[in-house]
Amino acid sequence: MHDASWALAPEGTNPEIVAWVEQLAHLLTPDTVVWCDGSVRERDGLNRLMVANGTLIQLNPEHRPYSFLARSHPADVARVESRTFICSDDEADAGPSNNWIAPGEMRATLAGLAEGAMRGRTMYVLPFSMGPLDSPLSRFGVQVTDSPYVAVSTGIMTRMGSAALERITPGTSWVRAVHTVGAPLAPGEVDVAWPSNETKYISHFPETREIWSYGSAYGGNALLAKKAFALRIASAMARDEGWLAEHMLLLKVTNPRGRVFHVAAAFPSACGKTNLAMLRPSIPGWQVETVGDDIAWLAPDSWGRLKAINPEAGFFGVAPGTGVSTNQTAVDTLWGNTIFTNVALQDDGDVWWEGLTDTPPSNLTDWQGEPWTPSADRPAAHPNSRFTVAAAQCPTMSDDWEDPAGVTIDAIIFGGRRATNVPLVVEARDWDHGVFLGATISSERTAAAEGTIGELRRDPFAMAPFCGYNMADHWQHWLDVGGQLRRSGRVPRIFQVNWFRKDDDGSFLWPGFAENSRVLAWILDRVDGVAPAVPGPLGWTPTPGALNVQGLDLADDALAKLFEVDPAAWSDELDDTERFFGTFGDRLPESMSRQLAVVRERIEAVAAARAEHASAA
């Protein structure tokens, strides 16, 4: 490391940050250290460097102005949940849904791996704010990385640079994040386009608010401000400080009568969050605007209202399935200034992925750089290929998306990808029942995470890969926040949705996409006190005719099937839920056991009533 590089530390930088960076530089031994200021000039220089190194391919500016394609190593394409660890002091605090290693053991492992890990590379220092710079709901962090791809992407996804650094004054709390691709270079050694390491660790230390990531340059493994900070570490901070850090999109919705609502919604990855966040309603008179597409930080204010901010400044979205017919808003957002990762390249220098258009081009270069035609037996874009783009480019961003005070939440929605059992929409009976709905989310596994695609996985609150502490304690924290809100009388209503229920032939019963606005309309009319509902074993559902399906080409029995409750299937589901709850032992909140018993009792009543009706017939 060249001592002269320390002259680059901006004047007035918090001495605590400087000392931390110096300590890391002596351990990681980069050739130089660059303190990033977040400027356009800096970003352009890093992009030019990556084009020269082969990390980025500049796209045809006539089609995608100032946009780039990155191709990762084929073994570095997704979150590595099996290599993601919560290193809490007490193993019980990590809970059964997290991988745990004792902090001392993990620190020793990482220290050995980190020694000299940045040799031959540049260490970039990235100061950033999660949330608007001067919001009381925002929090600060500093990440070091040896990946210019990560540096540029962090500049898109956060408020990164000099303005954030100036605000991390002595006494200000900040999260420490360390990232290296784990690929040191010997003198004269030629670098590869996507340096990474087969050995990977993404480790979180919730008590000391630290993140260490080694070996991966991909997405959430390396953009530590995103899932690692904004969810895993922030959820532990939120538990300690009385707020919530959640895997939720945020919407602003205006109804035909001019009333404005704000909605927070939790869906597992690749289950339609971005499509809902950028929804274009199919029904007249309703307007939907985007506040956030992935993460929400929520906190009761002094008036007892639940306020929320989007802590991110950009979108890191799944490309496949994002297209003109499914999400025109997202397509419009990606007009330029975008980094695409692991999508296909067209002959004209533009990008393509499955779902962008109904018909694929006749010739492409696939995500690994190989020729591709529609007759190929493999996808052209990786199923978890991504786009990284500033949220400000989205044409549906709400005018209050950066309000430092946050937006007031009127409704909370939970959803997953379920082919059976779960109805199109259900309203919780109360807050505690709503927490039960969130705790029992399950979804077929997708390409965004490791595992067998299609396998059913429990994903409570869509937080299974992201909660930085014991999930049962997370549910109790939600119950506690609800109690605080109840005392103020400003409790958001909670709903569960399922766009993905299928008929016996495997076809979707509900058209989804823009038509989901019809379900959203019923939900918000419930909040507004004008939509009728009927109580059922799972909660409140629309009365016949209450859900606007005018103009939809639905099969005659589609609505009945969308809301059908099969007592036998639900009995099995509740048995499975009870086994799942059992994995949390005595950490399980008593309220969750009570809610399970209530649903079981109501399902048994439905079964008994149907048996009696059949007997009478």
pLDDT single digits (tens) 563-588 = 999 999 999 999 999 999 999 999 99
**Predicted model pTM:** 0.95
Query: What's the pLDDT at 444?
Result: 67
User: In this structure, are 305 and 319 located in the same domain?
Assistant: no
- pLDDT single digits (tens) 69-109: 999 999 999 989 999 999 999 999 999 999 999 999 999 99
Query: What's the pLDDT at 274?
Result: 85
Decide if 583 is inside a domain.
no
Decide if 208 is inside a domain.
yes
At a CB cut-off of 8 Å and minimum separation 6, what does 605 contact? 537
User: In this structure, are 265 and 327 located in the same domain?
Assistant: no
State the amino acid at position 373 in one-letter form.
T
Pair type for strands 122-130 and 32-35: parallel
Which helix (H) or strand (E) is 276 found in, with range?
Answer: helix 273-277
- Domain final residue, candidates 371, 393, 415: 393
Instruction: Say yes or no to pLDDT of 1 above 50.
Output: no
Percent of the chain with pLDDT over 70: 97
Decide if 165 is inside a domain.
yes
Query: What's the pLDDT at 404?
Result: 98
Decide if 356 is inside a domain.
yes
Rounded average pLDDT over 372-392 = 97
CATH of the domain at 345: 2.170.8.10
**pLDDT-based confidence at residue 488 (cuts at 50, 70, 90):** confident
User: What phi and psi, each to the nearest 5 degrees, are found at residue 65?
Assistant: -55, 135
User: In this structure, are 417 and 511 located in the same domain?
Assistant: yes
Instruction: Say yes or no to pLDDT of 2 above 50.
Output: no
User: In this structure, are 430 and 563 located in the same domain?
Assistant: yes
User: If DSSP codes are grouped into helix, strand and coil, which group holds residue 81?
Assistant: helix
Number of structural domains in the chain: 3
**pLDDT-based confidence at residue 271 (cuts at 50, 70, 90):** confident
- Domain final residue, candidates 202, 224, 240: 240
User: In this structure, are 160 and 282 located in the same domain?
Assistant: no
Instruction: Say yes or no to pLDDT of 452 above 70.
Output: no
Q: How far is 460 from 463, CA to CA, in rounded Å?
A: 6
Q: How far is 114 from 344, CA to CA, in rounded Å?
A: 34
User: In this structure, are 231 and 332 located in the same domain?
Assistant: no
User: In this structure, are 330 and 427 located in the same domain?
Assistant: no
Report which of residues 453 and 499 the model is more confident about. 499
Instruction: Say yes or no to pLDDT of 6 above 70.
Output: no
Instruction: Say yes or no to pLDDT of 4 above 50.
Output: no
Query: What's the pLDDT at 268?
Result: 86
| Active-site residue (options: 87, 271, 394, 467) | 271
Rounded average pLDDT over 444-465 = 70
Decide if 611 is inside a domain.
no
For residue 542, the cross-strand partners are 533
Report which of residues 273 and 107 the model is more confident about. 107
Q: What is the CA radius of gyration of the chain?
A: 24
Decide if 44 is inside a domain.
no
Which helix (H) or strand (E) is 352 found in, with range?
Answer: strand 351-352
Q: Is 271 a catalytic residue?
A: yes
Decide if 225 is inside a domain.
yes
User: In this structure, are 380 and 420 located in the same domain?
Assistant: no
Q: How far is 540 from 293, CA to CA, in rounded Å?
A: 27
Find the angle CA(43)-CA(10)-CA(182) to the nearest 5 degrees. 55
User: In this structure, are 384 and 503 located in the same domain?
Assistant: no
User: What phi and psi, each to the nearest 5 degrees, are found at residue 158?
Assistant: -135, 175
- pLDDT single digits (tens) 385-415: 999 999 999 999 999 999 999 999 999 999 9
CATH of the domain at 449: 3.90.228.20
Instruction: Say yes or no to pLDDT of 562 above 60.
Output: yes
- Range among 425-434, 488-497, 607-616 with highest mean pLDDT value: 425-434
- pLDDT single digits (tens) 168-186: 999 999 999 999 999 999 9
User: In this structure, are 366 and 417 located in the same domain?
Assistant: no
At a CB cut-off of 8 Å and minimum separation 6, what does 377 contact? none
Rounded average pLDDT over 293-319 = 96
- pLDDT single digits (tens) 187-216: 999 999 999 999 999 999 999 999 999 999
Query: What's the pLDDT at 116?
Result: 98
- Domain final residue, candidates 353, 368, 393: 393
For residue 116, the cross-strand partners are none
- For all residues of the chain together, what is the average pLDDT? 95
Helices in 281-430 by DSSP H: which ranges?
A: 328-333
Rounded average pLDDT over 145-163 = 98
- Range among 56-60, 445-449, 505-509 with highest mean pLDDT value: 56-60
CATH of the domain at 184: 3.40.449.10
User: In this structure, are 405 and 553 located in the same domain?
Assistant: yes
Report which of residues 105 and 610 the model is more confident about. 105
Decide if 204 is inside a domain.
yes
User: In this structure, are 220 and 203 located in the same domain?
Assistant: yes
Which structural domain, as residue segments, surrounds residue 379? 315-393
